[in-house]
Amino acid sequence: MDPSLSPTSIHYAIKKETWRRTVVLSFQTLGILYGRLSTAPLYAFGSINPSDIKSGQQIYELFSFVFWTLTIIPLLKYAFIVLKVDDNGEGGTFALYSLLCRHANVGLLPSDISTTELMHQEEGTPSKMKVESRARRAIGRYKSSHYLMLFLALLGSCMIICDGIFTPALSVLSATSDLRRSLSKLAARFTSSEKARHSVDKYLKRYIPVPAACAILVCLFMLQRYGTNRIGVIFAPIVIIWLMFISGFGMYNIFHHPQILWAISPAYMFRFIKKIDISSWKLLSSIGLCIAGSEAMFADLGHFSKRSIKVTFVFLVYPALVLCYAGQAAFFSKHLGTSDDVAHLSESITHRHLQHIFTILSLFASLVGSQATITATFSIINQCQALACFPRVKVIHTSEKVHGQVYVPDANWLIMVLSLTILIGFRDISAIANATGLAVICGMLVTTCLMSLIIALQWEKTAVFLSLSFLLFFGSIEALYLSSCFLNFSKGTWCIVILSLIFMTIMVSWHYGTIKKYEFDIENKVTVDWLTELSPGLGVSRVPGIGFIHTNIVTGIPAFFSHFITNIPAFHEVLILVSFKSLPVPYIPKNERYLIGRIGHKDYKIFRCIVRYGYRDHVRNINDFEDQIISSIGEFIAREERHHEALFLQEGRMIILGSRMTDGNVLVPVVVGGEQSESGQDVADIENPTTTTTTTTTKRKKVRFMLPANSPKMNPSVRKELQQLVDARESGTAYFLGHSHLKVRKGSNFVKQFLVKVYAFLDKNCREPPIALDIPHAALLEVGMVYTI
């Protein structure tokens, strides 16, 4: 096998990062990556009910937890350990799962099953984990470990999606609650009667926080279609001003109450644990929110550099947050019992006029924090869809420079509706914070588990010790906060459990149905000999044109096409079997994306094209897909005779294509006529082979191909075959897609029936493949089949 076909053979040119580049990236991280972590002070202490605090000393103990949690989780775990591991520059839950799929052979995805020999070759990769590792053999030996890895990856993805639903509601409601308090104080200055003040405050409490938060959320989600790049232009300055503001008042409160600095000692934590009870244990769920957003330091690694992420956190975000929390805790402890709102950050701003400035600033800051989680949700949905773990949705790439910046309109409106439902249903910061805390901590715990496995696979000599140490040290801290979240199960946490179960059911059902369909295709495929040798006996004729057969298998002829030939004995003069294969890597360079091969003798004119893409690529949205395939086929014909590094498979040899030849022996694309309009859609059903037509209109760029005018080096046989390809293109093209339906066998167990029914419902109501593949409707033929499993 050709090592160049390996996904890990794709080399990324890593330029030496200058400090000027680091400063620029560090500035950008503040607007995108650290928005959530920087706005956590709005609700960390604020979600605590002051009546649950027994004394000011207990607040000191809680601050000790805040300080050491900030130091251990985001600083030590993420900035100095987890950031050392990346998947070709990408981070996040799926990046860790991708590494395990490639290096420990634990993949259960359809592309792993179908093309293990073709796609996975790890020789010569710098990140290669030792083949003889005991941990690798142990993990790869047991099938249950494969399911466990996939479950952890899906669980982490579900928690990110749930976090994207709850965080906008929590952040914006916290800010609008501050707006209500600010307006109440303004109203009190113009009202002398205590009864009138109480009436105004009651009115504002009813009509300001939730309605204003709903309006802001609707505006926020409507802005998503403009993309992260445009939205984030003003976010970095907002976060910088916000951090300076809250850290400045933190220092002010520390100066007036310096005793808070003694709480940095871990002795305060041990004192809290020593006398802990159920009521005080529940308080830790709110304290865990202080690290909400830490996961973004690793998840958004592909947008920035490791050094910029680390430098920004160590020298700006971390000290600013520590000062803010220390000052807030100092004020809280000294004024405990004076007001029901004393735990909120706005109350620690002692200057009256600056409180109003803080209110306006917190509204903008809450939008920044919400944007970070919404963007992360879009990214994880895009990755899950690429790896066959999420139903088909429309994905729009909003940036040509940053591949990971995507907008998913279907998910955007669903998240908006769910977020508004959560906001209107709970109307309480504490309940929403309890649910959010569970999503945050659970996501971090998944990263800890996957990271410990990566450590076990990468460092063989000390693998077990280092892996267990990492898992026990960080896992025990996160488990402590996780347990406190479950203690608040009846106070909001139940909602995150139900939502995560719904999303997990959707992902597992879709993954299960996709695998079963693929297995059915493998078991019922026919050999190439059937098409080239046996089909003439059925009276099959060849018609002018090119037929693109979209299939998930990379060997043989798909079952739906053999059924089509049986019912309608004709197919095109040139056949191209096209397979899209996702690889567990972030990106595939364009010059290594297409894998072209010939099936059978030259006279058959049957080719196979494998289009490889990473989980962050957007290859399925290209408008000139057909032109690129035909151009690659022409390049393959020109190179075939003198290519000595081809990959030999059962059906023949395949060559990686994508970089254009410069010797003038390839097809020349010519844009003519501007645009062409096409209408109509043909659908053929095997069980009832009739054709129906629906009228649609699409406009696409029309490209014609010509042979090079002067190419003395071109072989006459190559010129003849290229001319036949050009003539076939001029005659027209058609796409064959299998439109399959899953049907469960009678007597199957309940779980199987449930998964198949859920998959069938999702398959019927989600986006159709032709939309994702940008296939002209007039050229589409869908062949219906029923798969009984």
pLDDT tens digits, one per residue of 638-674: 877 665 444 444 555 677 775 555 555 577 777 765 4
Q: What's the rounded mean pLDDT across residues 725-753?
A: 86
Query: What does the alpha-carbon distance between residue 467 and residue 446 come to, in Å, rounded to a whole number?
Result: 14
Predicted local distance difference test score (pLDDT) of residue 449:
93
Q: How confident is the model at residue 616 (pLDDT cuts 50, 70, 90)?
A: low
Query: What does the alpha-carbon distance between residue 784 and residue 789 come to, in Å, rounded to a whole number?
Result: 16
E-strand stretches of 210-297: none
Tell me the CB-side half-sphere exposure of residue 555, using CA atoms within 13 A.
15
What Rg value do the Cα atoms of the chain yield, rounded?
Answer: 30
Q: What's the rounded mean pLDDT across residues 282-304?
A: 87
Predicted local distance difference test score (pLDDT) of residue 754:
92
Q: What's the rounded mean pLDDT across residues 49-74?
A: 92
Q: What's the rounded mean pLDDT across residues 675-699?
A: 38
Query: What does the alpha-carbon distance between residue 156 and residue 164 come to, in Å, rounded to a whole number?
Result: 12
Predicted local distance difference test score (pLDDT) of residue 299:
82
Query: What does the alpha-carbon distance between residue 767 and residue 781 come to, in Å, rounded to a whole number?
Result: 17
Instruction: Report in angstroms the alpha-carbon separations of 121 from 47, 187, 583.
Output: 51, 70, 12
Q: What's the rounded mean pLDDT across residues 580-600?
A: 78
Q: How confident is the model at residue 685 (pLDDT cuts 50, 70, 90)?
A: very low
Q: Which residue has the higher pLDDT, 343 or 201?
A: 343
Predicted local distance difference test score (pLDDT) of residue 203:
82
pLDDT at 459 over 70: no
Percent of the chain with pLDDT over 70: 79
Residue 572 bridge partners (DSSP): 543
Task: Find tokens 């049957």 and name the residue.
Answer: 606
| Residue 600: strand, helix, or coil | coil
Q: How confident is the model at residue 692 (pLDDT cuts 50, 70, 90)?
A: very low
Instruction: Report in angstroms the alpha-carbon separations of 2 from 121, 649, 738.
Output: 8, 11, 31
Tell me the CB-side half-sphere exposure of residue 422, using CA atoms within 13 A.
35
Per-residue DSSP letter, 657: E
Q: What's the rounded mean pLDDT across residues 98-121?
A: 57
pLDDT at 3 over 50: no
Q: How confident is the model at residue 620 (pLDDT cuts 50, 70, 90)?
A: low
pLDDT at 681 over 60: no
Two structure tokens written together for 182? 């600010």
- Going by C-alpha positions, the residue among 451, 431, 453, 455 that lies closest to residue 443 is 451
Q: What's the rounded mean pLDDT across residues 290-307?
A: 85
Q: Which residue has the higher pLDDT, 715 or 180?
A: 180
Q: How many CB atoms lie within 10 A of CB 649?
A: 17
Q: How confident is the model at residue 125 (pLDDT cuts 50, 70, 90)?
A: very low
Q: String of b and e for 571-602 (b: at least 16 CB within 10 Å)?
A: bbbbbbbbbbbbbbbbbbeeebbbbbbbbbee
DSSP string covering 528-574? HHIIIIIGGGGT-EEEEEEEEEE-S-SSSB-HHHHHHHHHS-EEEEE
Query: What does the alpha-carbon distance between residue 445 and residue 605 come to, in Å, rounded to a whole number?
Result: 53
pLDDT digits (tens, 9 = 90+) for 622-632: 456 778 888 88
E-strand stretches of 658-732: 668-679, 682-685, 691-693, 697-706
pLDDT at 501 over 90: yes
Tell me if the pTM is above 0.75: yes
Query: Which amino acid, one-letter code, is at 67?
Result: F
